[in-house]
Chain A
Amino acid sequence: MADLTTEFLGIKSPNPFWLASAPPTDKAYNVERAFKAGWGGVVWKTLGEEGPPIVNVNGPRYGVIHGPDRRVLGLNNIELITDRPLDVNLREIKQVKRDWKDRALIISLMVPCEEGPWKKILGEIEDTEADGIELNFGCPHGMSERGMGASVGQVPEYIEMVTRWCKQYTRMPVIVKLTPNITDVRYPARAAKAGGADAVSLINTVSSITSVNLDTFSPEPSIDGKGSHGGFCGPAVKPIALNLVAEIARDAETRGLPISGIGGITTWRDAAEFIALGCGNVQVCTAAMTYGFKIVEEMIEGLSDWMDQKGYTSVSDFTGKAVPNVTDWQYLNLSYVTKAKIDQDACIKCGRCHIACEDTSHQAITSMVDGERKFEVIDEECVGCNLCVDVCPVDNCISMERISGVDPRTGVEINPEYANWTQHPNNPASKVAAE
């Protein structure tokens, strides 16, 4: 079995699966159950400054998007940071860390955007012997209205400033947790790096309204007839998170900055994908909140089985392996010509490929051949978009196959060499360059 031990910022954990700062890491009771179940580490539910505890709503705090059979595809929440007294949290953190030395324990923090409060809280947590801190610049609801969370994360200058204070006032590694609610994640990531961050983690939740109740006309979750936007997470946000991670991993300025990947991770495969895009480890919230802590067993087994199969002996063997393959559109190989091909033995004749291509794409799939219901790709029309592959309900029934020679659609000989947009005759910029 492959060794899943990871070292992230020098913090060791038996596996790369951490629980993200959220309800699963709210108190000792949960965290101990998580460690017993096998989680490699936790980021404790975000702590705020000392004083009267945070107040949460007393009605529903979640909204949901369901897939078939009520599978949770996305969760939206309007919960704030911890609503437990600071001293109770600190006492529990200290005790849990003492009892579980081999697990990573990070403290998530969020205090007003002033030097005093940051300096104060950093002093207060020193004694817990936690392994590091994560700065919550991501929470998009509630706390952001008070000038914290995402409202810091949306201003690179604040990120840099607060990160610098933290690096100044603590010896612990500092992870900056980024919000996806920005236009270009490279700016906040660069700011975190400039401020001295040891790592970034992302994503926090995406601002969202999950649904509107059509009887009361209130957004859900509805608190006495009103709703406010919340933060969206779970499987539905994974593609967004992967892209933001990749942007940071391949940016010249932030390349090499350690990343803790978060967003929709549900199985070992999701985790492996984040790691391949450059994450040193991953954090999970919604999957645990949907299924309980036991899912980590599947993640551990699955990841190590896959690593064994591939011959990787440690997680670092494949960390970042996909990063060089993330490129700009303009560098994609336009000489790569594919056609869809339908395996007639596997085809169950549902016709979804046909109607998708016929109504919305390129009219490249038949529905009848010689008077019989039959779905075949017309190479003369197929642009190789693969929509049909995506809508086909049968796994591996339609495949995209590369062709060479003359493309029956264009009648033009396919260039056997790699050629991209920058070199394309239709590109005005390339013409200029050629002249």
Chain B
Amino acid sequence: MAATDHERDVQANRLESSQYDRNFSDIHPALNRHEALVEADRCYFCYDAPCMNACPTGIDIPMFIRQISADNANGSAKTILSENILGGMCARVCPTETLCEEVCVRETSEGKPVKIGLLQRYATDHLMNNAEHPFSRAKETGKKIAVVGAGPGGLSCAHRLAMHGHDVTIFEAREKSGGLNEYGIAAYKSVDGFAQSELDFILQIGGITIENGKALGRDFTIAQLAKDHDAVFLGMGLAGVNALGLDGEDADGVVDAVDYIADLRQADDLSKLPVGRRIVVIGGGMTAIDAATQTKLLGAEEVTIAYRRGAENMNASEYEQEVAQTNGVTIRHWLQPRALQRDADGAISGIELEYTKQTNGKLTGTGETTTIAADQVFKAIGQTFDGAPLDDTIVLEKGRIKVDADRRTSMKGVWAGGDCIVGGEDLTVAAVEDGKLAAESIHATLNA
């Protein structure tokens, strides 16, 4: 039974052609020099700065801001990049409102943190546009290291290893490198092909070879990799997605949000991307927010996020939720999917949702339901690690790779980091830190 009498409506070209550029332009335009100097003046150069402790990569924030103040933007960038070689992307995608900026003492004193993210972008952009790669390689060690996955985790690890003089080969399953920087991050956070420029910048260090289209588990085994290299780093991210567990999940109109976003990021012409008129997104994380916001920006008329708990439980920050809402997305809470509704052709026409409540920490359905008409239902209820390529050689925990504090796996000579390890935060910046820590550990081990 169809939820409404409307014809199902999924089509491209919903907007005037000029509107696409406007909708997908930089969400936080870069600061110019004047703006950066004014903002940098606000920093107190705190002792044992809270912001710095909140940065997963431990960037010396007061120092890099002071360097901007002192008109040394390239030096500032070097301070940033020495802890976080993807400082440029992190400046664009980090949820600073829950990291450094959340604890900035200016947030405490006046509710307005220093705009650390934008300052970081100012400095790193300045260096990438005006200067040479700021790091050089140590004397070559002759050691060979394999990195699986050219996402933020893999790239960070590779760069640090290359700096220490090792030779790195990155095996990347996809055609393009960058991982979710290239295929996942919302388009308006990383405009003008920044993921690829940053990749080029990272590779300028030298000593890193990337082999695209080479997948672990398909083209080679972990045992082979370990045998042919002095060390291995796994930065494979999350290849699977959680299922809704409903009948008709393979119906026309049920969309994997991550896949859709990847198509969007790779589209040469956004106007050619089909999008439903009414969309329901199931989930409460960054992926749900990004899928909802971007489909709305592609011209969907009604976009609703349905999340099974309250606003405060959402993985997406309050700020991210506001971004969606400001763009016209409706966020509804305490609703869980119960049944997919389909039209005569079997395609999606709506979704039935059940109200939920939480008692003693346990989520239960109340039995009451509601139906939302939809031409597309986006699944964004979390990604999963696909452990198949590991051939059961490495211990997993909660479905992801188990590592120690140095990011060593249970297999000798193999380290791992980023989204594929257990206990991670599923953030770009966390993956960068993992890669860096693993590289230092690998380096120390090989030197021992």
Contacts and interface: CB of A to CB of B under 8 A. Distances in A.
Given A68-B41, A69-B38, A69-B41, A351 B109 contact: no
A373 B106 CA distance: 16
A351 B105 CA distance: 10
> By CB atoms of chain B within 10 A, which of A348, A354, A373 has the most?
A348
B32 interface: no
Contacts of A350: 44, 46-47, 105
Interface string A386-402: 00000001100000000
B48 A351 contact: yes
A354 B37 CA distance: 26
Interface in B60-119: 105-106, 108-109
Contacts, number: 33
Interface in A370-385: 373
Contacts of A355: 47
A352 interface: yes
B45 interface: yes
Contact of A373 (B38, B41, B44, B48): B48
Nearest to B47: A351
Nearest to B34: A70
A392 to B, nearest CB: 10
A351 B46 contact: yes
A352 B38 CA distance: 21
B50 interface: yes
Contacts of A373: 48, 50
B435 to A, nearest CB: 29
A6 to B, nearest CB: 38
Contacts of B41: 68-69
B45 A352 contact: yes
Given A69-B38, A373-B50, A352 B44 contact: yes
A69 to B, nearest CB: 5
Interface string A346-372: 001111101100000000000100000
Nearest to A368: B48
B195 to A, nearest CB: 34
Interface in B24-45: 37-38, 41, 44-45
Contacts of B48: 351, 367, 373
A416 B48 CA distance: 40
A348 B108 contact: yes
B105 A348 contact: yes
Nearest to A391: B44
Q: How large is the interface on B (under 10, 10 to 19, 20 to 34, 35 or more residues)?
A: 10 to 19
A393 B109 CA distance: 10
A59 B41 CA distance: 31
B175 to A, nearest CB: 47
A367 B49 CA distance: 11
A367 B46 CA distance: 12
Contacts of B108: 348-349
A351 B50 CA distance: 10
A391 to B, nearest CB: 9
Interface in A402-425: none
Q: How large is the interface on A (under 10, 10 to 19, 20 to 34, 35 or more residues)?
A: 10 to 19
B44 A393 contact: yes
Nearest to B107: A348
A368 to B, nearest CB: 9
Contacts of B49: 351
Given A348-B108, A394-B109, A367 B47 contact: yes
A70 B47 CA distance: 25
Contacts of B106: 348
Nearest to B49: A351
A68 B106 CA distance: 16
A63 B344 CA distance: 80
Contacts of B50: 349, 373
A354 to B, nearest CB: 5
A3 B85 CA distance: 65
A348 B43 CA distance: 13
Contacts of A351: 46-49
Nearest to A67: B41
A352 B46 contact: yes
> By CB atoms of chain B within 10 A, which of A349, A352, A394 has the most?
A349
Nearest to A359: B47
Nearest to B43: A350
A69 B109 CA distance: 20
B361 to A, nearest CB: 28
Nearest to A346: B109
A348 B47 contact: no
A197 to B, nearest CB: 44
A393 B62 CA distance: 15
B128 to A, nearest CB: 24
A68 B44 CA distance: 12
Contacts of B105: 348-350
Nearest to B48: A351
A68 B40 CA distance: 9
Interface string A62-90: 00000011100000000000000000000
A367 B50 CA distance: 12
Nearest to B53: A373
Contacts of A68: 41
Contacts of A69: 37-38, 41
B216 to A, nearest CB: 43
A403 B296 CA distance: 65
> By CB atoms of chain A within 10 A, which of B41, B45, B49, B105 has the most?
B105
> By CB atoms of chain B within 10 A, which of A350, A352, A355, A373 has the most?
A350
A348 B45 CA distance: 13
B180 to A, nearest CB: 34
A434 to B, nearest CB: 46
A366 B48 CA distance: 12
A354 B105 CA distance: 15
Contact of A354 (B38, B45, B47): B47
> By CB atoms of chain A within 10 A, which of B45, B46, B47, B109 has the most?
B47
Contacts of B46: 350-352
B47 A352 contact: yes
B39 to A, nearest CB: 10
A352 B44 CA distance: 8
Nearest to A394: B109
A354 B38 CA distance: 26
A348 B49 CA distance: 12
Nearest to A375: B47
B115 to A, nearest CB: 15
Nearest to A354: B47
A336 to B, nearest CB: 30
> By CB atoms of chain B within 10 A, which of A351, A367, A394 has the most?
A351
A150 to B, nearest CB: 34
Q: Which 9 A-B pairs have the closest CB atoms?
A: A351-B47, A355-B47, A68-B41, A348-B105, A350-B46, A348-B108, A348-B109, A350-B105, A350-B44
Given A349-B105, A351-B49, 18 more contacts: A68-B41, A70-B37, A348-B105, A348-B108, A348-B109, A350-B44, A350-B105, A351-B46, A351-B47, A351-B48, A352-B44, A352-B45, A354-B47, A355-B47, A367-B48, A373-B48, A373-B50, A394-B109
26 contacts: A68-B41, A69-B37, A69-B38, A69-B41, A70-B37, A348-B105, A348-B106, A348-B108, A348-B109, A349-B50, A349-B108, A350-B44, A350-B46, A350-B47, A351-B46, A351-B47, A351-B49, A352-B44, A352-B45, A352-B46, A354-B47, A355-B47, A367-B48, A373-B50, A393-B44, A394-B109
Interface of B: 37-38, 41, 44-50, 105-106, 108-109
